[in-house]
Amino acid sequence: MTKRLLTAALLLAVSVIPAHAAKTSLVVGMPIEPPGLDPTVAAPVAIREVTWVNLYEGLVRIDKAGKVQPLLAKSWEIAPDGLTYTFRLQEGVKFHDGSTFDSADVKFAFDRARDPKSTNAQKQIFAPISSIETPDPATVVIRLKETSGNFLYYLGWGDAVIVAPETAANNAANPVGTGPFKFKSWTRGDRVELTRNADYWQKDKTKLDTVTFRFISDAQAQVAALRAGDVDAFPNLGASELFAEFQKDARFKAVAGNTEGETVAGLNSAKKPFDDVRVRRALMHAVDRKTLIEGAYSGFGQPIGSFFSPNNPAFVDTTNVVPYDVEKAKALLKEAGYGDGLSITIKSPQMAYASRSAELLSAMLSEAGVELKIIPTEFPAKWIEEVFKAKDYDMTIVSHTEPLDIDIFARDSYYFNYKNEKFKALVAEAAKTTDEKARFAKYAEAQKILAEDVPALFLFQLPKLGVWNAKVQGLWENSPIPSNDVTEVSWTE
Amino acid sequence: MLRLILSRLVSLAITLLAVSLAIFLILEVLPGDPAAIMLGTSAREDTLAALRQELGLDQPALLRYLQWIGGLLQGDLGTSITYKMPVSTLVAERMNVTLPLSFLAILISTALALPLGVAAAARRDGPVDRAVLVFSQLGVAVPNFWIGLLFILFFSTWLGWFPAGGFPGWGNGLWPAFQALLLPAVALALPQAAVLTRVTRSATLEVIGADFVRTARAKGVDKGSTLRRHVVPNALIPVTTILGLQLSFFFGGAILVENVFNLPGLGRLAYQALNQRDLVVIKDIVLIFSGLVIVVNFIVDIGYAILDPRLRSRA
């Protein structure tokens, strides 16, 4: 009797489930757990990879191609002098706690970010602002002290998302935004769960009901989780040497794209012998980028000749400015007075791409008569103290993952110790230029200056090795901004 | 017996205080600024200063030490720099993984080692003994994280019987949580079981050769009873010593195994906190680990007194 009842119940249960419903849950794997869920108070990329446009939204957003698109602002006007931005806001938008979004929230969010006590990691976004006015709930007028060509673009970053005054202080542990997903739970050390926001202002934009971000640091464990089906997608897999296997496996889609991370071997330009541009160029001539990428990242990753992301529309290819040429390297070293050889050190962090690159660099430079000794260092803690702050190094290697960060070579106190007034003026000018074409031309020139001056050995763009279930659609191939935008992800049947 | 416990308790408190001072001093000289790590390389100097002030890092070292100890005495472990939440909550969450994992591993290890060791000793050079020797050689040689990787390949990826890692939490039912802990516990237990088996075997062999055992046999007690009533109880004393020493290895080994199986335990929290220079969390966890080892040793000391009546009368 019980058996028959059970069978009946089972049949009933099965018949209720529609025959071909597509899955509406997604499990996304990430290597690093975010330390909190508020992108406006801390720098880590992992915070943005969970929250950006999924939980929080800004006035504008960056799209797959790296372009600015409207979001909470449906339109804007820029006054002819480039100093006044008038944003028209979407109406009927609600925060996850039910409160209404309006111009006062925008003013609050930006004032909070530029407050002297704020710990926003990208305060320079807000530096040009002189005042924020809210003539009515659906309009925000922002006045700038000086023109800023990238102001709109920066407003698309995670650091500039709109938060509400009632909830902002608790966002790190209990995030409240206006995005298509709401925060459900955070099992620290394991996962963050999001659920669909039923009141989202763009109806039917998202197809998923739940999104789970799981944090798996070990590269082997990442592969195991994908193969066992515990995780549906790993937007950036750690095990580059196993990526090719996923490319051959029909159950998975494996796409190698670009991140915003320029991997560079920084040179201490204030220190002998790196103050001599001939030495810097000689070192660059001695590097075969293709072989380096083969060894350091299993052949994935685009060679770069300067400090600009190939994702950015203003990118120009400069890899031929100082090409691989060992004879030229030797000649330049001789000319600079190092014909008998040169002995230098590299402080190499523990990340696989960095330590492998350091070993390959050491082998390549020895061909040109340069002895490169590797000194391991711990990233981030020790590296920040020794290299970044104390500038106690010859050469180092790290990937700079912020988008549009060419201006770090124009900063006086930055660890490269690079000083080029012409470059500095050019970058400052580019940042102020509102005309896109003119701005891109200036960035192109700035890229060429760096390629010729070699304040760092420009090696390769850190790849984004995405692996996901072949039935999952809508994930990004490249990451023009640190993110895992799942708002348009769906499953095919 | 009471005097023994009291004197051990006093030395326990002194040890903990000394450990706390050592931890604090080591972290003081460790390079790394938590504020700079949180805010990245683009942060401006005034922003860094604001965060340091918010975290209380601008106060003198002595004051920070006293605040820490004062807080501990009131049961306040402080607030995590990276997670911005009470360390007690974080640690409690992680204990829910690490403690069951360690105890499950201890259970598996002793359940394997004691019968195997005794059985091997009972028939020296017999087939069981030879098999046990091979097992214990292998177990000592192979590290636990590698066993873990093999388990994942075989049981999770290939057979699909267990999840490949992660922890669903105790809230989702006992069975899924147990399932998530079983493979890591076995991986953690095997190398320790190998050591314990060898110790049990040699301790048992030593007792088997003793005069009083021969006397018991001569009096007509059969082999099984001699083993149960005379040999095993006496062999347990050295075994307990090793088990006590091993307990700290279980907690330490958990760090590696938790990483391989991606378990949100105390070990991984410690590893992460060290990377982020979350000084508050590191200090607390190291102290908790030290405390656990000290307390376990205290229990082992008391355990001796129970197992060996001579120690009781001496104290």
B272-306 pLDDT per residue, tens? 888 888 889 999 999 988 888 888 888 887 777 77
- The three-class DSSP label of residue B288 is helix
Distance CA B237, CA B193 (A): 17
Minimal CA separation from B23 to chain A, in Å: 18
What are the tens digits of pLDDT across the range A92-144?
Answer: 999 999 999 999 999 999 999 999 999 999 998 999 999 999 999 999 999 99
Chain A residues with CB under 8 Å of B83 CB are: 35-36, 172-173, 188
Query: A337 CB near a chain B CB, below 8 Å?
Result: no
Name the token pair of A305.
Answer: 């000749």
Distance CA A382, CA A42 (A): 19
Minimal CA separation from B242 to chain A, in Å: 32
CA distances from A117 to A113, A159, B53 (A): 9, 15, 10
CA distances from A8 to A3, A12, A18, A20 (A): 9, 6, 18, 22
Query: B147 CB near a chain A CB, below 8 Å?
Result: no
Give me the pLDDT at residue A1, please. Answer: 45
Q: Chain B: residue nearest A188 by CA?
A: B264
Give me the pLDDT at residue B226, please. Answer: 86
Chain B residues with CB under 8 Å of A224 CB are: 152-153, 156-157, 164-165
Give me the pLDDT at residue B315, please. Answer: 44
Q: For residue A37, how many C-alpha atoms fall within 13 Å in the half-sphere facing its CB?
A: 26
Distance CA B125, CA A469 (A): 54
Comparison of pLDDT for A20 and B125, the residue scoring more = B125
A117·B50 Cβ contact <8 A: yes
Q: Which of residues 66-85 of B touch A (CB under 8 A)?
A: 82-85
Chain A residues with CB under 8 Å of B54 CB are: 117, 119
Name the token pair of A374.
Answer: 């590797």
Return the closest-CA partner of residue A422 out of A400, A448, A395.
A448
Give me the pLDDT at residue B158, please. Answer: 84
Give B311's pLDDT tier (boundaries 50, 70, 90). Answer: low
Q: Which of residues 133-172 of A touch B (CB under 8 A)?
A: 172
Query: B39 CB near a chain A CB, below 8 Å?
Result: yes
Q: Which of residues 196-255 of B touch A (CB under 8 A)?
A: none
A221·B32 Cβ contact <8 A: no
First to last CA, chain B: 6
Minimal CA separation from A188 to chain B, in Å: 7
Minimal CA separation from A218 to chain B, in Å: 6
Give me the pLDDT at residue A17, please. Answer: 47
Distance CA A26, CA B61 (A): 47
B85·A221 Cβ contact <8 A: no
Chain mean position to CA B31: 28
Taking the C-alpha atoms of A128, A130, A134 and A140 in order, what is their torsion angle to the nearest 10 degrees? -20
B82·A36 Cβ contact <8 A: yes
Comparison of pLDDT for A39 and B314, the residue scoring more = A39
B94·A189 Cβ contact <8 A: yes
Minimal CA separation from B1 to chain A, in Å: 43
Q: Are A410 and A423 in contact (CB under 8 A)?
A: yes
* Residue B166, Cβ density class (10 Å: 0-12 exposed, 13-18 middle, ≥19 buried): buried
The residue whose two tokens read 């999001």 is: A194
Query: B55 CB near a chain A CB, below 8 Å?
Result: no
B38·A122 Cβ contact <8 A: no
Write the residue in B82, B93, B165 that is nearest to A35 by C-beta. Answer: B82
A185 forms beta bridges with: A193
The enclosing H or E element of B55 equals helix B45-55
Chain A residues with CB under 8 Å of B165 CB are: 216, 221, 224-225, 230
The enclosing H or E element of A366 equals helix A352-367
* Residue A130, Cβ density class (10 Å: 0-12 exposed, 13-18 middle, ≥19 buried): exposed
Asked whether the bond before A310 is cis by omega within 30 degrees of 0, the reply is no
Instruction: Give the CA angle between residues A64, A69, A72 to the nearest 5°.
Output: 125
Which residues, given as ranges, of chain A have pLDDT below 70?
1-20
Distance CA A179, CA A94 (A): 9
Chains A, B: CB contacts within 8 A come to: 144
B47·A120 Cβ contact <8 A: yes
* φ, ψ of residue A305 in degrees (nearest 5): -110, -5
* φ, ψ of residue A19 in degrees (nearest 5): -60, -45
Name the token pair of B49.
Answer: 């200063």
CB atoms closer than 10 angstroms to residue A414: 17
The DSSP symbol for A274 reads: T
A224·B153 Cβ contact <8 A: yes
Chain B residues with CB under 8 Å of A33 CB are: 272
Query: B90 CB near a chain A CB, below 8 Å?
Result: yes
Q: Which of residues 361-420 of A touch B (CB under 8 A)?
A: 380-382, 384-386, 388-389, 400, 402, 405, 408
Query: B166 CB near a chain A CB, below 8 Å?
Result: yes
**Which of B262, B271, B279, B285 to probe the A interface (max A CBs under 10 A)?**
B262
pTM: 0.84
Strands A370-376 and A342-348: what pairing?
Answer: parallel
Give me the pLDDT at residue B81, please. Answer: 85
**Which of A220, A234, A249, A262 to probe the B interface (max B CBs under 10 A)?**
A220
Contacts of A427 (CB under 8 A, 6+ apart): A406, A407, A409, A410, A442, A446
Return the closest-CA partner of residue B83 out of B281, B289, B258.
B281
What are the tens digits of pLDDT across the range B26-73?
Answer: 888 888 888 888 888 888 888 888 888 888 888 898 999 999 999 999
CA distances from A184 to A23, B87, B158 (A): 19, 22, 32
Query: B179 CB near a chain A CB, below 8 Å?
Result: no
Give me the pLDDT at residue A14, please. Answer: 46
Helices B144-151 and B174-208: angle between axes, nearest 10 degrees: 130
Query: A492 CB near a chain B CB, below 8 Å?
Result: no
Taking the C-alpha atoms of A131, A135, A139 and A143 in order, what is their torsion angle to the nearest 10 degrees? -20
Contacts of B189 (CB under 8 A, 6+ apart): B104, B105, B106, B108, B109, B112
Return the closest-CA partner of residue B120 out of B192, B189, B193, B205.
B205
Q: Chain B: residue nearest A227 by CA?
A: B157
* pLDDT for B243 beyond 90: no
Write the residue in B44, B265, B276 that is nearest to A35 by C-beta. Answer: B276
The enclosing H or E element of A456 equals strand A456-469
* pLDDT for B232 beyond 90: no
B275·A42 Cβ contact <8 A: no
Minimal CA separation from B148 to chain A, in Å: 10
Residues B209-237 have a mean pLDDT of 86
Give me the pLDDT at residue A15, please. Answer: 44
A35·B42 Cβ contact <8 A: no
